[in-house]
Homo-oligomer: A and B are copies of this chain.
């Protein structure tokens, strides 16, 4: 038998308790009984069958040598980080769905886990129930991963899907997402790309072994995407998606988050609603995509339980410990040098083709043209726009969206 503690008895924490007790497959896979000994929460749950396990003092868990696995589902960095570190120092393994803690403190917590002969696992931190982290570590373990492109946030993908299918504005689609419980009152973490940033931060650390400070990950909001952009994309053979990207190069990697025109030849173009899709490109396996619901009580709880099971069975102890170094200077390539095709829409310009060269320009209004540019870097793009504005002060950039 293995004794576990659950920190945070909210949506996911409650789901973990349910999945563990209602799915006999979990204990079968673990090869032993999994007993929920404590649940840490500020609240009481008089109507819950687990209310007798609820405690309000973390020390009870830390000081109980019988507890060997702690599932942290509190959310937020503090005190989740402090509790995680304390558990690992006490030799207890920790599993979590808390992407904020993993993205902020993952390198340190993985090192702490190794020092104390414990595990720190976080399958549920990216892609909800989609198996992605363990497959990368075990099934793709002989691969050199060269690129990850992911639709990593269900809320924004729902909004973009709605805008595309119903022709509604960003604000109206956001309203709808709120009604359905997909978006928070303050949607910034989703629509400004912060959630996606955390997830690509974690995925690139797994792929490259380097944890980069989130502040260095260029992150662009999707608030500026309009219905007209969606229509242009569709007409030109693309879908608009918020993409977290990590692209390896000779010196390190580009890691960034931005809305993209995704060509309809790419399966990511068809990932709709709250679903997530993550494409992994590697030297042996080639291109693989992982797809599923990126959030939700049961999928996320299932991922947490799979981590618990893999520690309890002993399987985790047999696979190499993850080591993340903090990324040194020079690992992150400057986004200014990142080159790609770009969808551009310009108003009040006559000299656009002098600046952008041979492209398939299309008139959208009498005073408006749109086109997919040749492959140009960010700095090159900015220089061209500056030149254009010098030549034509009234010229106005309506849209600029990278092509995947």
Contact = CB atoms under 8 A, between A and B. Distances in A.
Nearest to A131: B139
A23 interface: yes
Nearest to A130: B288
B293 A287 contact: yes
Given A313-B320, A318-B313, A319-B29, A23 B288 contact: no
Contact of A131 (B19, B288, B310): B288
A135 B139 contact: yes
B288 A288 contact: no
Given A25-B142, A310-B138, A288 B289 contact: no
State the number of copies, please: 2
A27 B209 CA distance: 17
Interface in A1-38: 19-20, 23, 25-26, 28-29, 31
Interface string A308-319: 011001111111
A45 interface: no
Nearest to A135: B131
A142 B23 contact: yes
Nearest to A297: B284
A314 to B, nearest CB: 4
Contacts of A313: 318-320
Nearest to A292: B288
A299 B284 contact: yes
Interface footprint category on A: 35 or more
A283 B23 CA distance: 9
B320 A142 contact: no
Nearest to A31: B320
A301 interface: yes
Contacts of A318: 313-318
B139 A123 contact: yes
Contacts of A143: 23, 25, 302
A14 to B, nearest CB: 14
A314 B143 CA distance: 19
B270 A284 contact: no
A308 to B, nearest CB: 9
Contacts of A319: 29, 310, 313, 315
A167 interface: no
Contacts of A293: 285-287
A259 B173 CA distance: 37
Contacts of A298: 283-286
A162 to B, nearest CB: 14
A141 interface: yes
Contacts of A292: 285-289
A19 B285 CA distance: 10
Interface string A123-161: 100000111001100111111100000000000000000
30 contacts: A23-B143, A29-B319, A129-B284, A129-B286, A129-B288, A130-B285, A131-B139, A131-B140, A131-B288, A140-B306, A141-B306, A142-B305, A142-B309, A265-B272, A267-B267, A267-B270, A270-B270, A284-B298, A284-B302, A284-B305, A285-B298, A285-B299, A286-B298, A287-B292, A288-B290, A288-B291, A288-B292, A313-B320, A314-B318, A315-B318
Task: Kindly list the 4 A-B residue pairs having the minimum CB-CB distance in the complex, ordered from nearest.
Answer: A131-B139, A29-B141, A26-B142, A284-B302
Interface of A: 19-20, 23, 25-26, 28-29, 31, 123, 129-131, 134-135, 138-144, 265, 267, 269-272, 275, 283-293, 296, 298-299, 301-303, 305-306, 309-310, 313-320
Given A19-B284, A285-B292, 12 more contacts: A20-B142, A23-B143, A23-B144, A31-B320, A129-B286, A131-B131, A134-B135, A140-B306, A141-B306, A269-B270, A283-B298, A315-B319
